[in-house]
Structure formats: structure tokens, C-alpha cells
Amino acid sequence: MEENLDKALHDMATLVELAALTLYSQLITKPYMRLVRAPGTEDLNVLNLSLLHDDLKNHIKTIINKPSVIFDFHPDSYLCATFDKKPWDDLLVIQAIIDMHNAGTLPHLIEVFVAFLGGALETWEQFTKEFAAGGLIALSSAEEHELTAMPITNDVNEGILGMWRRHSCDKPSLTVGHFSNQAAFTHNETQRFYECIVY
């Protein structure tokens, strides 16, 4: 395993791919998550994020059209490069990528990153088409948004507590003990064990 990792870390194509993923994380993913997952955003309604998503897609287009906002690196370049205009989440990794690019050890990084952003933009367009002007969400009133409020994350449905919450809503007469037994039955693959004994 160590040998494979060492080979990957000396493979230019792999390094360029990792650099592109890292840049996307630093410019788009982490800033976006800071805007929608920071303390105080717990009551955000996903139906009200249309403008944020438009801004995000415009930001990606800006970088596609002018990748120099990243690659002409200077200490304040985050003001144009990161989606939320906040300092880099990890300045050292950005500096390392730019240094490797300038040294010629990450060939075609700009082209690869721009192509990656193009694919990401297509995906964002697909995910947010229901927010488009003239669509049902855009034409709904603020009151209707409030009545049909949707959380911006799926956190409440994740994990064992989220499973219990969903089950207790779907089956109000379900007891905690019965739920626990069902969860253990599924997790332990008891049905498979039973089938092995019977057959």
C-alpha cells in the first residue's frame, strides 16, 4: 500500500488532479459550506438560497474566464478567488500548489482546473434549475416559502438518532425498544445468519 501511495505522489497526472480538487475545495466547497453551515444558519430555508446559488455559479464562471485570479497569487488574492471572499482555509496548501505550478511540476493545471470548473458548473446548474427565474420556487411568495420551509442540510435524517426520528414519524406506535431491536437485527445481518442455519 505504501508503494502505491508513493507512486501516486510521484505521478504528475495524479498530482494535477489532486491539485485541482484541492483548489475547488478551497475556492468553492469550503467557502460555500461556511455560508450555509456556520453558526446561526440552522434556520436557513433552502427555498431562499436562489441568490446565493446564482452568486456561486457566477463566481465559478468568473474563475473559468479568468483563472489568473488564482494563479497570479498574492496575499490578498482570496478576495477575488474564494466564494465568500474570506481568507484561505489553508493558505499553505494554496501556496504549495501555486509554487509547484510556477516551477512547472504541475503541467496543464490551469486547463485541467478550468475543465473541472466547467463540469462543476454544469452540475450546479442541474442541481439548482428548480430555482430558475419563472420557476415555481422563484414565483412563490415569502409566506409560501415560510410555510414550506426546508432545511438546507439532511443532518436531521443522518445517524441512528435521525433514523429513530424518521421511524417515529412514520410509525408513531413504534417503541424505542422495538426500533432498537430492528436496528440491531439489520446491522448484525441476523436474517443472513438465520438462513445459514436453516439451510
- Which string of DSSP letters, residue by residue, matches 86-112? PPPS-HHHHHHHHHHHHTTSSTTHHHH
Res 146: pLDDT: 76
127 & 170 share domain: no
Same domain, yes or no: 170 and 97: no
Helices 190-198 + 176-187 axis angle, to 10? 60
> Of 106, 129, 147, which closes a domain?
147
Boundary (domain end) residue, out of 147, 171, 189? 147
Closest-CA residue to 145 (of 54, 46, 42): 46
Burial class (CB in 10 A: 0-12, 13-18, 19+), 156: exposed
Least confident of 24-33, 114-123, 158-167: 158-167
Q: Bigger pLDDT: 140 or 56?
A: 56
Whether residues 27 and 88 fall in one domain:
yes
* 135 vs 16, higher pLDDT: 16
Is the same domain home to 13 and 42? Answer: yes
**Same-domain check for residues 55 and 87:** yes
Answer whether 0.95 is exceeded by the pTM: no
Q: Same structural domain for residues 56 and 143? A: yes
For 57, phi and psi rounded to 5 degrees?
-65, -40
Number of domains in the chain: 2
Q: Are residues 115 and 52 in the same domain?
A: yes
Residue 144 is predicted with a pLDDT of 76
The backbone torsions φ and ψ at residue 83, rounded to the nearest 5 degrees and listed phi first, read -60, -40
Q: Show the DSSP H helices in 9-74 as ranges.
A: 12-24, 30-37, 50-65, 68-71
Domain that holds residue 163: 155-198
Q: 169: which 3 cell numbers?
A: 414519524
45: phi then psi, degrees, rounded to nearest 5 = -105, 125
Q: Which of 123, 147, 171 is the last residue of a domain?
A: 147
141/159 same-domain check: no
Q: Do both 104 and 187 map to the same domain?
A: no
- Ramachandran class of 141: left when φ > 0, alpha when ψ lies in -120 to 50, beta otherwise: beta
Quick one: how far is CA 84 from the chain centroid?
Answer: 15
| Residue 51: pLDDT over 90 | no
Looking at the fold, whether 91 and 182 belong to one and the same domain comes out as: no
Which three three-digit cell numbers place residue 147?
410555510
Q: Which of 116-120, 126-130, 157-161, 163-167 has the highest mean pLDDT?
A: 116-120
Shared domain check, 187 and 115: no
pLDDT in tens, 96-106: 999 999 999 99
- 126 and 194 in a single domain? The answer is no
